[in-house]
Structure 1
Amino acid sequence: MALTVDQKLLKRTKFPPEFDEKVDMRKVNLDVMKKWIGGKIQDILKQEDEVLVELVCNLLDPTKTPSPFPKIKEIQIQLTGFLDREVATFCKELWQMCISAQSSPQGVPKELLEAKKLEMIQEKVLASIHCREPC
């Protein structure tokens, strides 16, 4: 039996060890991840691409897939045509975020929580500096 192109690519491609870890997307806050995905795709493509963001989210969404455990290796193969050379880096970062998110009570990756805390601290510092300056 002949293998499909995707099956051949799956066999040929070397994936990072993180891809062997399952992620239960029911434990991941997909709304938060969608914002991160949108930002990453914009960084890679140098423009917004809502269609691609929706595609990635649909591939991860447990209500739109047959299983709540997406197969990141297959997702990487599906996204190759859109993200070309950046697909492996994007998928690795995406999967690391999903792994982190599933172990968080809020379903948010700890990296995003830490970044938000830092942003809030910086805003507080700037606000306190601004309040001390005479108007």
Structure 2
Amino acid sequence: MATSVDAKLLKSTKFPVEFNQKVDMQKVNVEVMKKWIAGKISDILGNEDDVVIELCFNLIEGSRFPDIKKMQIQLTGFLDKDTAGFCKELWKLCLSGQSNPQGVPKELLEAKKLELIQEKVHIHILPYSIR
């Protein structure tokens, strides 16, 4: 699928050092990552673009060891200036996920914990503020 243009871009683009590390998708909780991907792409584009989201899912699930550099090149047409940041964040989460026994990136676990704590605080405060 890589065209000669893609090949040139792969050679000329400076990628983050994290991209040199492999991710074994069998060690990553793909469903958790898909939820993050869908949310992040929707944030970037300002709407839920199923085509771009599905493309990203296919790229990440296409092989056991996805190539984040090729993925970044392929997503650039859709995510424009946000592609590099998106791919770097995605790769860091995948790297984190593969080192966690549940396959969930610790950053997402921390964010979920914080969300649950805030909900609890909100629930406890709410009844008193109604009076």
TM-score normalised by length of structure 1: 0.89
| Aligned with residue 91 of structure 1, among 60, 82, 87 | 87
How far did residue 130 of structure 1 move?
Answer: 2.5
Flag the structure with higher helix content: 2
What is the CA distance between 1:86 and its match in structure 2? 1.0
What's the TM-score once normalised by structure 2's chain length? 0.92
Stretches of 4+ aligned residues off by more than 3 angstroms: 131-135
- 1:82 is matched with 78
Q: Which amino acid aligns with 2:114?
A: L
* Unmatched runs of 5 consecutive residues or more in structure 1: none
Structure 2: gaps of 5 or more residues: none
Aligned pair 1:49/2:74, yes or no? no
Quote the Cα distance in structure 2 between the aligned partners of 1:86 and 1:38: 15
User: How many residues were matched structurally?
Assistant: 129
Q: Deviations over 1:59-110 (max 9, x none)?
A: 111xxx3x30001000001111111111111100110110011111111111
8 Å CA contact 1:76, 1:88 repeated in 2: yes
Question: How far does the alpha carbon of each residue in 1:32-57 deviate from its partner, in whole angstroms, 9 at most, with x for none?
Answer: 11111111111111111111111111
Q: 1:72 aligns with which of 61, 68, 72?
A: 68
> Distance between the aligned counterparts of 1:117 and 1:81, measured in 2?
35
CA RMSD of aligned residues (A): 1.5
In the alignment, what sits opposite 2:28? 28
